[in-house]
Amino acid sequence: MLITDYSSVIFDFAYLYKRSVYYQFDLKQFRQGQYKEGYFKYDRDGFGPICTNEKDLMSEISSAIHDDFKINKKYRKRIDETFTLRDNKNSERLFNILNDK
């Protein structure tokens, strides 16, 4: 299971079908001092629930353990919609695109 805040490493975990949770206890400060929200909206597009406090995070971890770290259907659907090709030919496709130029 991955616990992250805003890191894009969650895409790697999602591709591997690993359960994730966002721990965004400082969202307001993060938005003020860092990046504006872009195309990826965590509540709409994210691959796991968003926890904003330690109590909710601990509850999510307990739930994950109880569910044997299986991914909720809602997040599995988002993962499948994001990673539509799972045929081990990503490198070949990239090579062909780059070779055509």
* pLDDT surpasses 80 at 75: yes
Q: What is the pLDDT of residues 12-30, one digit of tens each?
A: 999 999 999 999 977 676 6
* pTM (two decimals): 0.80
Tell me 70's DSSP state: P
Residue 86: what pLDDT? 86
Q: What is the pLDDT of residues 19-69, one digit of tens each?
A: 999 999 776 766 666 666 677 888 899 999 999 999 999 999 999 999 999
Angle at 2 between CA 14 and CA 31, to 5 degrees: 90
Q: Which CATH class is domain 2-99?
A: alpha beta
**Domain spans, the chain:** 2-99
